[in-house]
C-alpha cells in the first residue's frame, strides 16, 4: 500500500459498515459507481482482496476484516477530532472594546485576561470613537468616561496619565520637531494637544495612534503618549512631566443584562485586577520614580 489517503480508507470503512455501495453512498453523498471504482483502486493499491462481492452487497474478505479493524480505530480518532473542533464553535464569546492605546496594552497582557484553557472565546475590538453599548457591539467597553445613559453598569479602573516622549537616541538639543495625530482623527484631548500648542515645530502627522508610537520609537520626533506605553518601553525616554490637563479616568463598562454571565464576570474581574496591579504605571508614577 503506497500512501493511500484517508478519504479512500474512510470510504472503505463506510462500505464495510453499511454492507454495500448504496448505503455508503447515502452516508457520504458520493455516488455508488464512484465508490465502487475507489474500492477497486484501493484493492489494487493494497494488493489484497478486501471484499466478497455479491448481488446482495459487499462482505468483508479476511484481509478486509484485518484492514477494517485498523481503519475503525482511525475513524474513531477522526470523529473525536471533529467533535473537539466543533466544541470551539459552541463556546460563548466575550467581546471587549477599547481604544487603540488600551488595546495595545491588553494584547500584550492577554495572559492575564484569557488563556486557551478558558471555556469561552474572546473578541477584541479597537474603537477610538466614543463607545456606546446600547446596541451590544461589545459586552465590555474600556473608556475614559462613565456612561450617563443606557442600560449599563460601570466601575472605575484608575487614571491614565500622558507625557511627551522621544526615542533614546533622539538628539533633543539639535532637534526640536514634533509628531502629531492628524486633526481629523483627533478625538481626545491627548490627540489634540500637540497641534493646539503654539510654537511647536510639527514635521510629521499620522492618522493612527499605532503609527504615532512607531514614529516616536524610530527617532522621527517627539510625541505625546500614554505613560503606560512610554514608561514601559525601554526604547523611549520621557522628556517632560505628566500633563495634568490630559489625565483621564479609566472606566470598565458592561451591559447590565449580561454582566452576570459567568464568562463576562470573569473577564471584568480580571480586567479590574490587571488595572489595579498596574495603576502606578497608568498614572505615570513609574517614570517619576
What are 196-213's pLDDT values in tens digits?
A: 998 899 999 998 999 999
List Cβ neighbours of 170 (8 Å cut-off, separation of 6 or more).
Answer: 219, 221, 222
- Confidence band for 154, pLDDT divided at 50, 70 and 90: confident
Region of poorest pLDDT, from 144-153, 164-173, 274-283: 144-153
**Predicted local distance difference test score (pLDDT) of residue 135:** 61
CATH code of the region 93-160+247-283: 3.40.190.10
**Predicted local distance difference test score (pLDDT) of residue 187:** 80
- Confidence band for 217, pLDDT divided at 50, 70 and 90: very high
Give the domain 6-88 fold: Arc Repressor Mutant, subunit A (1.10.10)
C-alpha cell at 165: 516622549
Domain ranges of the chain: 6-88, 93-160+247-283, 162-246
Give the domain 162-246 fold: D-Maltodextrin-Binding Protein; domain 2 (3.40.190)
**Predicted local distance difference test score (pLDDT) of residue 83:** 56
Alpha-carbon distances of 91 from 80, 84, 85, 114, 261, rounded to whole Å = 17, 11, 11, 14, 13
Count the alpha carbons within 13 Å of 275 in the hemisphere toward its beta carbon: 20
**Predicted local distance difference test score (pLDDT) of residue 54:** 87
Check pLDDT > 60 for residue 140. yes
Q: Residues 168, 169, 175, CA angle at the centre, nearest 5°?
A: 105
Determine what percent of the chain is predicted with pLDDT higher than 70: 90
- Confidence band for 282, pLDDT divided at 50, 70 and 90: very high
With contact defined as beta carbons under 8 Å apart, do 165 and 216 qualify? yes
C-alpha cell at 262: 459567568
Alpha-carbon distances of 95 from 126, 137, 140, 188, 254, rounded to whole Å = 11, 8, 6, 23, 10
User: Are both 93-160+247-283 and 162-246 of the same fold?
Assistant: yes
CA-based radius of gyration for the chain: 31
pLDDT in tens, 86-133: 555 678 889 999 999 999 999 999 999 999 889 898 999 988 776 666
Buried residues in 22-56 as b, exposed as e (16+ CB within 10 A) = ebbbebbebeeeebbebbeebbeebeeebbeeeee
Amino acid at each position: 500500500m503506497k500512501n493511500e489517503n484517508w478519504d479512500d480508507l474512510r470510504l472503505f470503512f463506510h462500505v464495510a459498515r453499511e454492507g454495500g455501495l448504496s448505503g455508503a453512498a447515502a452516508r457520504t453523498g458520493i455516488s455508488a459507481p464512484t465508490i465502487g471504482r475507489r474500492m477497486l483502486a484501493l484493492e489494487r493499491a493494497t494488493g489484497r482482496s478486501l471484499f466478497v462481492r455479491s448481488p446482495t452487497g459487499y462482505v468483508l474478505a479476511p484481509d478486509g476484516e484485518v484492514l477494517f479493524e485498523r481503519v475503525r480505530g482511525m475513524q474513531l480518532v477522526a470523529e473525536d477530532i471533529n467533535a473537539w473542533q466543533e466544541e470551539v464553535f459552541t463556546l460563548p464569546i466575550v467581546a471587549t472594546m477599547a481604544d487603540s492605546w488600551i488595546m495595545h496594552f491588553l494584547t500584550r497582557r492577554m495572559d492575564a485576561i484569557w488563556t486557551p484553557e478558558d471555556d469561552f472565546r474572546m473578541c477584541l475590538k479597537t474603537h477610538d470613537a466614543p463607545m456606546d453599548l446600547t446596541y451590544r457591539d461589545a459586552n465590555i467597553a474600556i473608556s475614559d468616561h462613565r456612561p450617563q445613559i443606557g442600560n449599563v453598569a460601570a466601575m472605575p479602573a484608575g487614571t491614565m496619565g500622558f507625557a511627551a516622549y522621544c526615542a533614546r537616541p533622539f538628539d533633543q538639543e539639535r532637534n526640536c520637531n514634533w509628531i502629531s495625530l492628524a486633526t481629523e482623527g483627533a478625538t481626545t484631548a491627548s490627540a489634540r494637544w500637540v497641534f493646539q500648542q503654539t510654537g511647536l515645530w510639527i514635521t510629521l502627522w499620522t492618522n493612527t495612534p499605532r503609527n504615532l508610537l512607531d514614529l516616536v520609537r524610530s527617532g522621527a520626533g517627539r510625541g505625546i503618549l500614554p505613560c503606560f506605553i512610554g514608561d514601559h518601553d525601554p526604547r523611549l525616554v520621557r522628556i517632560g512631566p505628566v500633563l495634568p490637563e490630559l489625565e483621564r479616568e479609566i472606566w470598565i463598562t458592561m451591559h447590565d443584562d449580561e454582566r452576570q454571565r459567568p464568562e463576562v464576570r470573569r473577564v471584568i474581574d480580571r480586567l479590574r485586577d490587571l488595572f489595579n496591579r498596574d495603576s502606578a504605571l497608568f498614572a505615570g508614577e513609574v517614570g517619576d520614580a
